[in-house]
Amino acid sequence: MKRLPLDGIVVADFSRVLAGPLCTELLADEGARVIKVEEPRFGDETRRWGPPFAGDVSTYFLSVNRNKESIALDLRADRELARALIERADVIVDNFLPAQRQELLGEIPETKVHCSITGFDPETAEASRPGYDLLAQAGAGLMSITGGAEPFKTGVALADVLTAHYAHGAILAALYAGGGARLEVSLFGATLASLVNVAQAALSTGHEAQRYGNAHPSIVPYQLFHARDRAFAIGGGTDRHYRSLCGVIGRPELATDERFATNAARVANRATLVPLLEEIFATNDAQHWVDRCRDANIPASLVRGVLEALRSEEARPLIATLDGFETVGHPVRMNGERLPVRSHPPKLGEHTEALRRELTGTPAQTGSRSRGTRTPGGRR
């Protein structure tokens, strides 16, 4: 790929942990020059969030910081360099609490695209509270519809991930519009908005959303089933899928049974249909049922482990490797090509001296990486 879509865009990344760094990694993948600002002694907290580690850095940090440069900077002791970076940047991303943002960054010129990632929206009473993925999942309702007997958080920090993608999209929209923009994206708001049909159903009916575990509130069969050896999933989203499934399991009479003939009827009678299907699926291996379903054009998949999925044939085009560093690359293809991994996640302060010279025309001071005290910052 000769030219990446965001070539020439400079991003000053004052964020850390997950939502902000994932947002800026997406921008970096798309060609933006992302300069990650880290406090001098310890850097981004996630550098130490392990095990597991790869060498002396956590795999958590490695997952969201490729294609970036790192400058070690005390935002209180070196305000002039921070201001020079802000003036140089087209986009500024931070996840400070409001009071800390003003203290550490000062006024951001209106000509810049400035995106702040917060825990809660600014017009709410909680605006000054720090935000955490776990609390967003709990407070915005996502946890209440996830799990079985009791609420569960998702297995990945999904509130952070959703917020990163909303922020990424908003930044691209602002860049497309031209001029500056003040963007604010909260973990709570992004998580609530991502409840989509579940949120709309609750608003429209006035009824609290229910938890369906591995099933679907409005579609049957659309869930996990248990075969003789392992679990698998069927996405029978239409009546046609259901009729085909009845043929696959050798029970054609179930297709015309008035209790199951339509999706609405199957939803009403899931307590009868699902145990019947489970009994049948338990007679053979999961791969047998997945293959037969796919032959009948019924969506189906094994329930894989993460490593199993990463090593699957479907994942092969998504795994990017650079000098032995293996990672899950950007999932979007542009004009038939994958966006490249151009550089490893940076070492703490790896580019400090070069950036200081570039921004101020003066060499870095000896020992500048350990100068000053650790900069406290608000959480996402």
Of 268, 302, 336, which residue is a domain's last? 302
E strands, 217-289, in order: 222-226, 231-235
Q: How far is CA 132 from CA 92, 127, 138, 144, 178, in A?
A: 21, 13, 10, 17, 32
Quote the pLDDT of residue 1.
61
Of 270, 302, 334, which residue is a domain's last? 302
Instruction: Write the pLDDT tens digit of every residue in 102-133.
Output: 999 999 999 999 999 999 998 998 888 999 99
| Residue 92: strand pairing partners | 12, 114
pLDDT greater than 70 at residue 29: yes
Residues 107 and 30 in one domain: yes
Q: What is the mean pLDDT of residues 180-189?
A: 97
State the burial class of residue 37 (Cβ atoms within 10 Å of its Cβ: 0-12, 13-18, 19+): buried
Q: What is the DSSP letter of 43?
A: -
Q: What is the mean pLDDT of residues 332-338?
A: 93
Which residues are CB-neighbours of 134 under 8 A, at least 6 positions away? Answer: 153
The strand pair at 10-14 and 91-94 is best described as: parallel
Instruction: Write the pLDDT tens digit of every residue in 235-247.
Output: 998 999 999 999 9
How many domains is the chain partitioned into structurally?
A: 2
Cα dihedral 199, 204, 206, 212 sign: negative
Residues 160 and 238 in one domain: no
CATH number of the domain bearing residue 99? 3.40.50.10540
**pTM reported for the whole predicted model:** 0.91
**Domain range enclosing 122:** 10-196+317-370
Residues 125 and 180 in one domain: yes
* Of 204, 206, 230, residue with least CA distance to 302: 230
Residues 62 and 148 in one domain: yes
Q: What is the DSSP letter of 283?
A: T
Indicate which residue of 56, 78, 160, 291 is catalytic.
160
Q: Are 91 and 167 in contact (CB under 8 A)?
A: no
Q: What is the mean pLDDT of residues 265-282?
A: 97
* Of 66, 93, 33, 29, residue with least CA distance to 354: 33
**269 domain residue, yes or no:** yes
Query: Would residue 160 show up in a list of annotated catalytic residues for this protein?
Result: yes
Q: What is the mean pLDDT of residues 290-300?
A: 97
Of 255, 272, 302, which residue is a domain's last? 302
Residues 87 and 16 in one domain: yes
Q: Which helix (H) or strand (E) holds 42?
A: none
Quote the pLDDT of residue 213.
93
Residues 153 and 21 in one domain: yes
Query: Could you tell me the pLDDT band of residue 252, with boundaries at 50, 70 and 90?
Result: very high
**375 domain residue, yes or no:** no
